[in-house]
Amino acid sequence: MIASAAAQTAGARPGPAELRKIEAYFNGLTTLRARFLQLAQNGGTAQGTAYIWRPGRMRFDYDPPEPLLLIASDGQFYHFDRELSQPSIVPVSSTPLGFLLRRDLRLSGDVTVTGLERSGGFLRVTLHRTNSPAEGRLTLVFAEEPMELRQWLVVDAQGQQTRVTLSAIETGMRLDPRLFDFNDPRFPEWERERR
């Protein structure tokens, strides 16, 4: 009888309490550093190191030979191809990952949750910007015990999917603010020196 009750609890349909736990996780998160593995819809893969400093800052440093560098800072999202020496810049607020960088994350109001499920010790929440569902959607995957972001899946406006899986996750460390600087079109001196 006890085992049956435990099984029912483990399989219980997630709801508002789980959404509040996700909000609390993000709103308590200041810094994060992790290795990432990125898988594109066409099967292409890339890996590197991700840095998040909430609110507002994120960096994806891709390992060679991938020439990309992504930096979110000062409300802008910079996408830089080192081979072409050419940046593209869009507002952070127009990207699905902009949700993660908000000072106060709320999964309601201007954010619409379209899916919430639990399986295998993981909690998945799918969301999009309420007023702009055509921009794309974001699915976040969390380990529940303890609560930890492990993966996200972005589906962009064209329906293209990109999955990012995190490993070797560290939180609460001190990060160098210069990690999130971007001098267009050149990198800061310290960035060039470390390559």
What are the pLDDT digits (tens) for 39-89?
988 888 999 999 999 999 999 999 999 988 999 998 899 988 888 877 888
Name the band, by pLDDT with cuts 50, 70 and 90, for residue 133: confident
Name the band, by pLDDT with cuts 50, 70 and 90, for residue 183: low
Contact 96, 138 (CB under 8 A): yes
- Write down the mean pLDDT value for the chain: 84
Beta-sheet pairing, 57-62 with 45-53: antiparallel
Read off the pTM: 0.81
Q: Is 39 exposed, middle or buried (0-12, 13-18, 19+ CB in 10 A)?
A: middle
Residue 186 has pLDDT above 70, yes or no: no
Beta-sheet pairing, 57-62 with 161-171: unpaired
Q: How many residues can be counted in the chain?
A: 195
CA distances for 60 relative to 37, 49, 71, 117, 130, angstroms: 11, 6, 6, 28, 27
Contact 97, 138 (CB under 8 A): yes
